[in-house]
Chains A and B, each alone.
Chain A
Amino acid sequence: MSIQEKRPIVSIISSLLIFGIYYAIAFNIYQERVSTIAEELEFWGAIVLILVPVLMVSKIVLYVLFSIFNTIITGEKEENFLKDEFGRLIESKATKNAYCVFMIGFLLSMGSLVMGMSPLVMFSIIMLSLMVSGMVQDFSEFYYLRKGV
């Protein structure tokens, strides 16, 4: 398996870990501190906003660690794959798939509000769709690398 194929797998595993830990921490804080609806909206707004830099930094750190360990173990140097035409085509198709998944999640979250569910459900669906869309992007990259485009 090439480093380009390993990278999406590492990314999927790190997404699961980061989201799982982050959501568990957020949910604990939510149960301890939030009581009114105004607090709930403020809390979840902050949680989603903080998630973005947390996700970016942790993914960069994990990816750098992966590259270092992979180079040490296999001696294989990573090429700047997503910069050439095949890589860009794969990236654009994978991004399109991720976007579709996120839009479905976003519409479902709006649907939950229409059905009278709590903001907790809405924000949980948004966070879940963020996670799943990221994983769909990684899986799509892996799939197109293997099967071709």
Chain B
Amino acid sequence: MSGSSVSNNIRKLRFHHNEMTQKDLADKVGVTRQTIVAIEKGKYSPSLELAFRIAHTFDKPLEEVFSYQPQNNGK
């Protein structure tokens, strides 16, 4: 949900790749624009395969596109 511990740099990476649009990225990785919007806003954590496809599109390793921040649950 909205408190996802997976964050990403997709927006920034799109900007640095000739201002690639969400639609262009969606077409390249084989999903809809709505899904890219949800991932960028942190509303959806993509599957490992989709995450790799996105990273591959930007020619970056996965950890440069996505990062994981463990949430402190008080344990």
Contacts and interface: CB of A to CB of B under 8 A. Distances in A.
Given A85-B50, A148-B1, A148-B2, A79 B43 contact: no
Interface residues of B, number: 18
A89 B38 CA distance: 13
Secondary structure dominating the interface of B:
loop
Interface in A75-107: 79-81, 83-87, 89
B34 A79 contact: yes
A70 interface: no
A86 B30 contact: no
Given A147-B43, A148-B4, A148-B44, A84 B32 contact: yes
Interface string B1-36: 110100000000000000000000000001111110
A81 B35 CA distance: 8
Secondary structure dominating the interface of A:
helix
Contact of B38 (A79, A80, A83, A148): A148
Contacts of A81: 32, 34-35
Contacts of B32: 79-81, 83-84, 86-87
Contacts of B2: 147-148
6 A-B pairs closest in CB distance: A148-B43, A86-B35, A79-B32, A84-B31, A81-B32, A86-B44
Given A86-B38, A149-B44, 18 more contacts: A4-B34, A81-B34, A81-B35, A83-B32, A84-B30, A84-B31, A84-B32, A84-B35, A85-B47, A86-B32, A87-B34, A145-B34, A147-B1, A147-B43, A148-B41, A148-B42, A148-B43, A149-B43
